[in-house]
Amino acid sequence: MDMLIGGKHISSEDLSEVKNPYNDEVIDTIPIAHRQTADLAITEANNAKESLQEMSAFKVSNKLFDVVEKLKDNREDFAHLLTLEVGKPINESLVELDRSIETLKLAAEEAKRIYGESVPLDAGLNGKGFFAFTQRLPLGVVAAITPFNYPLNLTIHKIAPAIACKNTVIIKPPTEAPLTVMKFAELLNEEFPDGVINTVTGYGSEVGDYLVTSNQVNKISFTGSVTTGLMISQKAGMKKVTLELGGNDPMVVLADANIDKAVKGVINGAFLNAGQVCMGVKRIIIEDEIADEFAQKLVGETEKLVMGNPLDAKTTLGTLISEKAAMQVEETVNNAVNDGAEILTGGVREGAFYQATVIDNVTMDMDLVANETFGPVAPIIRVNDVEEAIKVANDTEYGLQAGVFTSDYANAMKCAQEIEAGTVFINKQSTFRTDNMPFGGFKNSGVGKEGIKYAVGEMTKTKLIGLNLR
Protein backbone atom coordinates (compact mmCIF):
# COMPACT_ATOMS: atom_id res chain seq x y z
CA MET A 1 0.00 0.00 0.00
CA ASP A 2 1.40 3.38 -0.99
CA MET A 3 1.64 6.57 1.02
CA LEU A 4 -0.89 9.34 0.36
CA ILE A 5 0.73 12.77 0.03
CA GLY A 6 -0.99 15.78 -1.50
CA GLY A 7 -3.67 13.52 -2.96
CA LYS A 8 -1.10 11.36 -4.80
CA HIS A 9 0.07 7.83 -4.12
CA ILE A 10 3.79 7.72 -3.47
CA SER A 11 6.05 4.74 -2.91
CA SER A 12 9.76 4.25 -2.20
CA GLU A 13 12.61 2.03 -3.27
CA ASP A 14 12.73 0.74 0.30
CA LEU A 15 9.81 -1.45 1.36
CA SER A 16 8.78 -3.10 4.61
CA GLU A 17 6.61 -6.19 4.93
CA VAL A 18 3.49 -6.07 7.08
CA LYS A 19 2.97 -9.55 8.52
CA ASN A 20 0.05 -11.32 10.15
CA PRO A 21 1.29 -12.18 13.67
CA TYR A 22 -0.97 -15.25 13.76
CA ASN A 23 0.69 -17.11 10.87
CA ASP A 24 3.59 -14.82 9.87
CA GLU A 25 2.19 -14.44 6.35
CA VAL A 26 2.88 -11.19 4.49
CA ILE A 27 -0.30 -9.14 4.15
CA ASP A 28 1.16 -6.24 2.16
CA THR A 29 4.20 -4.04 1.88
CA ILE A 30 4.59 -0.35 2.72
CA PRO A 31 7.20 2.19 1.63
CA ILE A 32 9.95 3.19 4.02
CA ALA A 33 10.01 6.95 3.63
CA HIS A 34 13.00 9.14 4.26
CA ARG A 35 13.35 12.77 5.22
CA GLN A 36 12.73 14.17 1.75
CA THR A 37 9.35 12.39 1.63
CA ALA A 38 8.43 13.69 5.08
CA ASP A 39 9.41 17.16 3.88
CA LEU A 40 7.12 16.77 0.87
CA ALA A 41 4.23 15.82 3.17
CA ILE A 42 4.89 18.91 5.31
CA THR A 43 4.88 21.11 2.20
CA GLU A 44 1.62 19.62 0.92
CA ALA A 45 -0.05 19.94 4.33
CA ASN A 46 0.95 23.60 4.54
CA ASN A 47 -0.23 24.24 0.99
CA ALA A 48 -3.66 22.76 1.84
CA LYS A 49 -4.25 24.93 4.92
CA GLU A 50 -5.97 27.74 3.03
CA SER A 51 -8.38 25.47 1.15
CA LEU A 52 -9.47 23.79 4.39
CA GLN A 53 -9.74 26.97 6.41
CA GLU A 54 -11.92 28.56 3.73
CA MET A 55 -14.48 25.79 4.24
CA SER A 56 -17.37 26.61 6.55
CA ALA A 57 -17.80 24.70 9.80
CA PHE A 58 -21.06 23.42 8.33
CA LYS A 59 -19.24 21.95 5.34
CA VAL A 60 -16.41 20.44 7.40
CA SER A 61 -19.00 18.80 9.66
CA ASN A 62 -20.95 17.39 6.72
CA LYS A 63 -17.79 16.06 5.09
CA LEU A 64 -16.86 14.25 8.30
CA PHE A 65 -20.37 12.79 8.50
CA ASP A 66 -19.92 11.56 4.91
CA VAL A 67 -16.76 9.74 6.03
CA VAL A 68 -18.76 8.23 8.90
CA GLU A 69 -21.14 6.68 6.36
CA LYS A 70 -18.26 5.37 4.25
CA LEU A 71 -16.65 3.78 7.30
CA LYS A 72 -19.98 2.18 8.22
CA ASP A 73 -20.30 0.76 4.71
CA ASN A 74 -16.80 -0.75 4.94
CA ARG A 75 -16.96 -1.82 8.61
CA GLU A 76 -16.43 -5.55 8.05
CA ASP A 77 -13.59 -5.06 5.56
CA PHE A 78 -11.78 -2.70 7.92
CA ALA A 79 -12.25 -5.08 10.87
CA HIS A 80 -10.90 -8.00 8.82
CA LEU A 81 -7.79 -6.03 7.85
CA LEU A 82 -7.35 -4.85 11.43
CA THR A 83 -7.40 -8.43 12.72
CA LEU A 84 -4.93 -9.55 10.06
CA GLU A 85 -2.32 -6.92 10.92
CA VAL A 86 -2.75 -6.70 14.72
CA GLY A 87 -3.80 -10.25 15.64
CA LYS A 88 -6.72 -9.19 17.84
CA PRO A 89 -9.89 -11.32 17.77
CA ILE A 90 -12.34 -10.31 15.04
CA ASN A 91 -15.04 -9.43 17.57
CA GLU A 92 -12.65 -6.98 19.25
CA SER A 93 -11.81 -5.50 15.86
CA LEU A 94 -15.50 -4.96 15.16
CA VAL A 95 -15.80 -3.15 18.49
CA GLU A 96 -12.85 -0.96 17.51
CA LEU A 97 -14.65 -0.12 14.25
CA ASP A 98 -17.82 0.79 16.13
CA ARG A 99 -15.85 3.02 18.49
CA SER A 100 -14.04 4.58 15.53
CA ILE A 101 -17.35 5.40 13.87
CA GLU A 102 -18.59 6.93 17.12
CA THR A 103 -15.41 8.97 17.54
CA LEU A 104 -15.71 10.30 14.01
CA LYS A 105 -19.34 11.26 14.67
CA LEU A 106 -18.29 13.18 17.77
CA ALA A 107 -15.73 15.08 15.71
CA ALA A 108 -18.29 15.88 13.03
CA GLU A 109 -20.57 17.30 15.72
CA GLU A 110 -17.75 19.21 17.43
CA ALA A 111 -16.80 20.93 14.16
CA LYS A 112 -19.87 23.13 14.70
CA ARG A 113 -18.93 24.00 18.28
CA ILE A 114 -15.59 25.79 18.01
CA TYR A 115 -16.70 28.63 20.28
CA GLY A 116 -14.99 31.74 21.53
CA GLU A 117 -16.30 33.85 24.41
CA SER A 118 -16.83 37.46 25.41
CA VAL A 119 -14.32 38.82 27.92
CA PRO A 120 -15.39 41.53 30.43
CA LEU A 121 -12.37 43.81 30.21
CA ASP A 122 -14.07 46.25 32.56
CA ALA A 123 -13.34 43.75 35.33
CA GLY A 124 -9.71 44.90 35.06
CA LEU A 125 -8.04 48.21 35.75
CA ASN A 126 -8.78 50.82 33.02
CA GLY A 127 -10.97 48.32 31.12
CA LYS A 128 -14.20 50.28 31.22
CA GLY A 129 -15.41 51.17 27.75
CA PHE A 130 -13.79 48.19 26.04
CA PHE A 131 -15.52 45.17 24.49
CA ALA A 132 -13.52 42.04 23.79
CA PHE A 133 -14.10 38.54 22.52
CA THR A 134 -11.97 35.52 21.68
CA GLN A 135 -11.69 33.29 18.64
CA ARG A 136 -10.33 29.75 18.58
CA LEU A 137 -8.24 29.30 15.48
CA PRO A 138 -6.55 26.25 13.92
CA LEU A 139 -2.87 25.75 14.69
CA GLY A 140 -2.01 24.86 11.09
CA VAL A 141 -0.40 21.44 10.59
CA VAL A 142 -0.84 18.58 13.06
CA ALA A 143 1.45 15.53 12.95
CA ALA A 144 -0.11 12.39 14.43
CA ILE A 145 2.21 9.55 15.45
CA THR A 146 0.15 6.51 16.36
CA PRO A 147 0.61 3.03 17.94
CA PHE A 148 -0.20 -0.50 16.82
CA ASN A 149 -2.61 -1.68 19.52
CA TYR A 150 -5.70 0.32 18.50
CA PRO A 151 -4.39 1.78 15.26
CA LEU A 152 -7.66 3.00 13.77
CA ASN A 153 -9.44 4.33 16.84
CA LEU A 154 -6.39 6.04 18.33
CA THR A 155 -5.56 7.60 14.96
CA ILE A 156 -9.09 8.94 14.57
CA HIS A 157 -8.82 10.42 18.09
CA LYS A 158 -6.00 12.56 16.70
CA ILE A 159 -6.89 13.36 13.11
CA ALA A 160 -10.68 13.80 13.39
CA PRO A 161 -10.55 16.64 15.95
CA ALA A 162 -7.63 18.16 14.05
CA ILE A 163 -9.67 18.37 10.85
CA ALA A 164 -12.81 19.40 12.75
CA CYS A 165 -11.04 22.60 13.82
CA LYS A 166 -9.50 23.00 10.32
CA ASN A 167 -5.94 21.78 10.77
CA THR A 168 -4.29 19.76 8.02
CA VAL A 169 -2.77 16.46 9.09
CA ILE A 170 0.26 14.23 8.55
CA ILE A 171 -0.09 10.70 9.94
CA LYS A 172 2.91 8.54 10.78
CA PRO A 173 1.19 5.18 11.37
CA PRO A 174 2.82 2.27 13.21
CA THR A 175 5.19 0.29 11.02
CA GLU A 176 3.87 -2.99 12.45
CA ALA A 177 0.21 -2.22 11.67
CA PRO A 178 -0.20 0.69 9.24
CA LEU A 179 -2.68 -0.67 6.71
CA THR A 180 -6.01 0.12 8.40
CA VAL A 181 -4.89 3.68 9.06
CA MET A 182 -3.69 4.16 5.49
CA LYS A 183 -6.95 2.76 4.13
CA PHE A 184 -8.92 5.18 6.33
CA ALA A 185 -6.86 8.12 5.09
CA GLU A 186 -8.06 7.28 1.58
CA LEU A 187 -11.68 7.73 2.72
CA LEU A 188 -10.88 11.13 4.18
CA ASN A 189 -9.03 12.18 1.04
CA GLU A 190 -12.14 11.48 -1.05
CA GLU A 191 -14.02 14.17 0.90
CA PHE A 192 -11.39 16.83 1.61
CA PRO A 193 -9.00 18.83 -0.60
CA ASP A 194 -5.70 17.20 -1.54
CA GLY A 195 -3.09 17.66 1.16
CA VAL A 196 -5.54 17.93 4.07
CA ILE A 197 -4.69 14.34 4.98
CA ASN A 198 -1.26 12.79 4.31
CA THR A 199 0.35 9.50 5.34
CA VAL A 200 4.06 8.95 5.76
CA THR A 201 5.31 5.45 6.58
CA GLY A 202 8.75 4.65 7.90
CA TYR A 203 10.82 4.55 11.03
CA GLY A 204 10.27 6.91 13.90
CA SER A 205 13.99 7.53 14.26
CA GLU A 206 14.02 9.22 10.85
CA VAL A 207 10.53 10.21 9.70
CA GLY A 208 9.06 10.78 13.16
CA ASP A 209 12.08 12.78 14.25
CA TYR A 210 11.85 14.98 11.16
CA LEU A 211 8.19 15.76 11.83
CA VAL A 212 8.89 16.54 15.48
CA THR A 213 11.73 18.96 14.75
CA SER A 214 10.27 20.73 11.70
CA ASN A 215 9.27 24.34 12.31
CA GLN A 216 6.59 23.90 9.62
CA VAL A 217 4.64 21.52 11.85
CA ASN A 218 2.56 23.22 14.54
CA LYS A 219 1.57 20.34 16.80
CA ILE A 220 2.62 16.80 17.61
CA SER A 221 0.08 14.31 18.94
CA PHE A 222 1.85 11.11 19.97
CA THR A 223 0.83 7.85 21.60
CA GLY A 224 3.61 5.45 22.55
CA SER A 225 6.44 4.80 24.98
CA VAL A 226 7.73 7.09 27.73
CA THR A 227 11.22 6.99 26.23
CA THR A 228 10.01 8.26 22.86
CA GLY A 229 7.64 10.75 24.49
CA LEU A 230 10.45 12.32 26.49
CA MET A 231 12.56 12.62 23.33
CA ILE A 232 9.66 14.34 21.55
CA SER A 233 9.15 16.82 24.38
CA GLN A 234 12.84 17.72 24.26
CA LYS A 235 12.98 18.14 20.48
CA ALA A 236 9.62 19.72 19.70
CA GLY A 237 10.66 23.28 20.48
CA MET A 238 7.79 25.77 20.71
CA LYS A 239 5.13 23.63 19.01
CA LYS A 240 2.24 22.26 21.03
CA VAL A 241 2.54 18.63 22.12
CA THR A 242 0.08 16.03 23.38
CA LEU A 243 1.71 12.86 24.71
CA GLU A 244 -0.20 9.73 25.71
CA LEU A 245 2.50 7.46 27.10
CA GLY A 246 0.76 4.46 28.54
CA GLY A 247 0.11 3.26 32.05
CA ASN A 248 0.74 0.76 34.79
CA ASP A 249 -2.87 0.84 35.84
CA PRO A 250 -3.92 -0.48 39.26
CA MET A 251 -7.15 -2.22 40.13
CA VAL A 252 -7.75 -1.99 43.87
CA VAL A 253 -10.05 -4.66 45.33
CA LEU A 254 -11.04 -4.04 48.94
CA ALA A 255 -12.38 -6.68 51.33
CA ASP A 256 -15.99 -5.53 50.99
CA ALA A 257 -15.97 -5.63 47.18
CA ASN A 258 -18.28 -7.71 45.03
CA ILE A 259 -15.72 -10.38 44.13
CA ASP A 260 -17.55 -11.69 41.08
CA LYS A 261 -17.81 -8.18 39.62
CA ALA A 262 -14.12 -7.57 40.33
CA VAL A 263 -13.12 -10.85 38.66
CA LYS A 264 -15.11 -9.86 35.57
CA GLY A 265 -13.29 -6.54 35.64
CA VAL A 266 -9.93 -8.31 35.46
CA ILE A 267 -11.04 -10.59 32.62
CA ASN A 268 -12.22 -7.58 30.62
CA GLY A 269 -9.29 -5.42 31.66
CA ALA A 270 -6.14 -7.55 31.77
CA PHE A 271 -6.72 -9.75 28.72
CA LEU A 272 -8.38 -7.41 26.23
CA ASN A 273 -6.30 -7.25 23.03
CA ALA A 274 -3.92 -9.76 24.65
CA GLY A 275 -3.11 -7.21 27.35
CA GLN A 276 -1.78 -4.66 24.84
CA VAL A 277 -3.79 -1.76 26.23
CA CYS A 278 -2.29 1.33 27.84
CA MET A 279 -5.17 1.54 30.33
CA GLY A 280 -5.35 -2.23 30.87
CA VAL A 281 -5.39 -3.76 34.34
CA LYS A 282 -1.67 -4.17 35.03
CA ARG A 283 -1.71 -4.61 38.82
CA ILE A 284 -4.44 -6.21 40.96
CA ILE A 285 -4.00 -4.79 44.45
CA ILE A 286 -6.21 -6.78 46.80
CA GLU A 287 -6.80 -7.03 50.52
CA ASP A 288 -5.34 -10.29 51.74
CA GLU A 289 -8.46 -11.58 53.51
CA ILE A 290 -10.30 -12.08 50.20
CA ALA A 291 -7.29 -12.74 47.97
CA ASP A 292 -7.53 -16.55 48.01
CA GLU A 293 -11.20 -16.61 47.03
CA PHE A 294 -10.61 -13.95 44.39
CA ALA A 295 -7.64 -15.79 42.90
CA GLN A 296 -9.56 -19.08 42.71
CA LYS A 297 -12.47 -17.47 40.87
CA LEU A 298 -10.15 -15.50 38.59
CA VAL A 299 -8.32 -18.68 37.55
CA GLY A 300 -11.63 -20.36 36.74
CA GLU A 301 -12.78 -17.50 34.52
CA THR A 302 -9.37 -17.06 32.88
CA GLU A 303 -9.28 -20.68 31.81
CA LYS A 304 -12.53 -20.16 29.88
CA LEU A 305 -10.79 -17.84 27.41
CA VAL A 306 -10.30 -19.33 23.93
CA MET A 307 -6.92 -18.80 22.28
CA GLY A 308 -6.84 -19.37 18.54
CA ASN A 309 -7.23 -17.96 15.04
CA PRO A 310 -8.15 -14.29 15.53
CA LEU A 311 -10.52 -14.46 12.53
CA ASP A 312 -12.60 -17.16 14.29
CA ALA A 313 -15.54 -15.54 16.08
CA LYS A 314 -15.09 -18.02 18.97
CA THR A 315 -11.57 -16.74 19.72
CA THR A 316 -11.37 -14.47 22.77
CA LEU A 317 -7.59 -14.22 23.10
CA GLY A 318 -5.51 -13.35 20.06
CA THR A 319 -1.80 -12.94 19.48
CA LEU A 320 0.54 -10.23 20.57
CA ILE A 321 1.80 -7.95 17.82
CA SER A 322 4.82 -10.20 17.21
CA GLU A 323 6.64 -13.25 18.52
CA LYS A 324 9.33 -10.90 19.84
CA ALA A 325 6.71 -9.10 21.95
CA ALA A 326 5.43 -12.43 23.29
CA MET A 327 8.97 -13.48 24.17
CA GLN A 328 9.44 -10.26 26.16
CA VAL A 329 6.30 -11.01 28.19
CA GLU A 330 7.46 -14.59 28.72
CA GLU A 331 10.83 -13.40 30.03
CA THR A 332 9.25 -10.86 32.36
CA VAL A 333 6.87 -13.44 33.86
CA ASN A 334 9.66 -16.02 34.25
CA ASN A 335 11.82 -13.46 36.06
CA ALA A 336 8.96 -12.79 38.50
CA VAL A 337 8.64 -16.52 39.17
CA ASN A 338 12.35 -16.75 39.83
CA ASP A 339 11.92 -13.93 42.35
CA GLY A 340 9.15 -15.75 44.25
CA ALA A 341 5.89 -15.16 42.37
CA GLU A 342 3.60 -18.12 41.61
CA ILE A 343 1.82 -18.80 38.30
CA LEU A 344 -1.73 -19.99 39.02
CA THR A 345 -2.66 -20.54 35.37
CA GLY A 346 -1.13 -19.81 31.97
CA GLY A 347 2.50 -18.80 31.62
CA VAL A 348 3.10 -20.61 28.31
CA ARG A 349 4.11 -19.01 25.01
CA GLU A 350 3.31 -20.45 21.58
CA GLY A 351 4.86 -18.28 18.86
CA ALA A 352 3.21 -14.85 19.08
CA PHE A 353 0.56 -16.22 21.48
CA TYR A 354 0.97 -15.96 25.22
CA GLN A 355 -1.57 -17.70 27.41
CA ALA A 356 -3.75 -15.60 29.68
CA THR A 357 -1.78 -15.73 32.90
CA VAL A 358 -2.71 -15.22 36.55
CA ILE A 359 0.30 -14.80 38.80
CA ASP A 360 0.14 -14.45 42.61
CA ASN A 361 2.47 -13.30 45.40
CA VAL A 362 3.81 -10.47 43.26
CA THR A 363 5.76 -7.65 44.90
CA MET A 364 6.36 -4.14 43.62
CA ASP A 365 10.10 -4.66 43.21
CA MET A 366 9.47 -7.18 40.42
CA ASP A 367 9.87 -5.82 36.89
CA LEU A 368 6.51 -7.38 36.03
CA VAL A 369 4.74 -4.59 37.90
CA ALA A 370 7.49 -2.03 38.48
CA ASN A 371 7.22 -1.28 34.75
CA GLU A 372 4.40 -1.61 32.23
CA THR A 373 3.99 -5.19 30.99
CA PHE A 374 2.24 -5.18 27.62
CA GLY A 375 0.73 -8.65 27.60
CA PRO A 376 -2.11 -10.85 28.93
CA VAL A 377 -0.93 -11.06 32.53
CA ALA A 378 -2.94 -10.49 35.73
CA PRO A 379 -0.48 -9.97 38.63
CA ILE A 380 -1.93 -10.18 42.16
CA ILE A 381 -0.37 -7.99 44.85
CA ARG A 382 -1.67 -8.65 48.38
CA VAL A 383 -2.04 -5.79 50.88
CA ASN A 384 -3.36 -5.39 54.43
CA ASP A 385 -5.71 -2.41 54.14
CA VAL A 386 -6.87 0.53 52.05
CA GLU A 387 -3.95 2.74 53.08
CA GLU A 388 -1.43 0.17 51.84
CA ALA A 389 -3.48 -0.36 48.67
CA ILE A 390 -3.30 3.36 47.83
CA LYS A 391 0.42 3.46 48.60
CA VAL A 392 1.08 0.52 46.26
CA ALA A 393 -1.21 1.97 43.58
CA ASN A 394 0.85 5.18 43.58
CA ASP A 395 4.20 3.36 43.59
CA THR A 396 4.78 3.81 39.86
CA GLU A 397 6.02 6.42 37.40
CA TYR A 398 2.68 6.20 35.57
CA GLY A 399 -0.71 7.70 36.38
CA LEU A 400 -3.15 7.01 33.55
CA GLN A 401 -6.30 5.30 34.88
CA ALA A 402 -7.29 3.23 37.91
CA GLY A 403 -10.19 1.11 39.09
CA VAL A 404 -11.41 0.57 42.65
CA PHE A 405 -13.85 -2.14 43.72
CA THR A 406 -15.58 -1.57 47.06
CA SER A 407 -19.07 -1.22 48.54
CA ASP A 408 -17.88 1.38 51.08
CA TYR A 409 -18.24 4.82 49.53
CA ALA A 410 -16.03 6.42 52.14
CA ASN A 411 -13.20 4.17 50.97
CA ALA A 412 -14.25 4.70 47.37
CA MET A 413 -13.89 8.48 47.71
CA LYS A 414 -10.66 8.11 49.66
CA CYS A 415 -9.17 6.06 46.81
CA ALA A 416 -10.60 8.38 44.16
CA GLN A 417 -9.01 11.41 45.80
CA GLU A 418 -5.66 9.90 46.76
CA ILE A 419 -4.79 7.64 43.80
CA GLU A 420 -2.58 9.60 41.38
CA ALA A 421 -4.24 8.99 38.03
CA GLY A 422 -5.99 11.01 35.36
CA THR A 423 -9.12 8.88 35.82
CA VAL A 424 -10.34 6.75 38.73
CA PHE A 425 -13.36 4.52 38.21
CA ILE A 426 -15.34 3.10 41.14
CA ASN A 427 -16.54 -0.48 40.69
CA LYS A 428 -15.16 -0.54 37.15
CA GLN A 429 -11.76 -1.59 35.88
CA SER A 430 -9.31 0.94 34.46
CA THR A 431 -9.83 -0.50 30.99
CA PHE A 432 -12.84 1.63 30.21
CA ARG A 433 -13.18 4.64 27.98
CA THR A 434 -15.95 6.47 26.23
CA ASP A 435 -14.75 8.46 23.28
CA ASN A 436 -16.14 11.77 24.52
CA MET A 437 -14.46 11.76 27.94
CA PRO A 438 -11.21 13.58 28.74
CA PHE A 439 -8.46 10.97 28.45
CA GLY A 440 -4.90 11.48 29.61
CA GLY A 441 -2.80 10.79 32.65
CA PHE A 442 -0.50 12.24 35.26
CA LYS A 443 3.23 11.77 35.87
CA ASN A 444 4.96 9.88 33.04
CA SER A 445 1.65 8.86 31.48
CA GLY A 446 1.88 12.04 29.46
CA VAL A 447 0.63 15.59 28.97
CA GLY A 448 -2.56 16.94 27.45
CA LYS A 449 -5.96 15.36 26.97
CA GLU A 450 -7.66 13.43 24.21
CA GLY A 451 -11.42 12.92 23.81
CA ILE A 452 -12.85 14.93 20.91
CA LYS A 453 -13.93 18.12 22.70
CA TYR A 454 -10.73 18.19 24.74
CA ALA A 455 -8.51 17.36 21.77
CA VAL A 456 -10.02 20.28 19.84
CA GLY A 457 -8.97 22.51 22.73
CA GLU A 458 -5.42 21.17 22.40
CA MET A 459 -5.45 21.76 18.63
CA THR A 460 -6.56 25.39 18.56
CA LYS A 461 -5.04 28.72 19.57
CA THR A 462 -6.95 31.59 21.18
CA LYS A 463 -6.95 35.11 19.79
CA LEU A 464 -8.41 38.06 21.70
CA ILE A 465 -10.02 40.92 19.72
CA GLY A 466 -10.68 44.11 21.69
CA LEU A 467 -12.73 47.16 20.69
CA ASN A 468 -12.27 50.57 22.28
CA LEU A 469 -15.79 51.98 22.62
CA ARG A 470 -14.86 55.03 24.69
Please identify every residue annotated as catalytic: 244, 278
Pairing of strands 342-345, 357-360: antiparallel
**HSE of 18 in the Cβ direction (CA atoms, 13 Å)?**
27
Q: Are 143 and 211 in contact (CB under 8 A)?
A: yes
How far is it, in rounded angstroms, from Cα 431 to Cα 447? 19
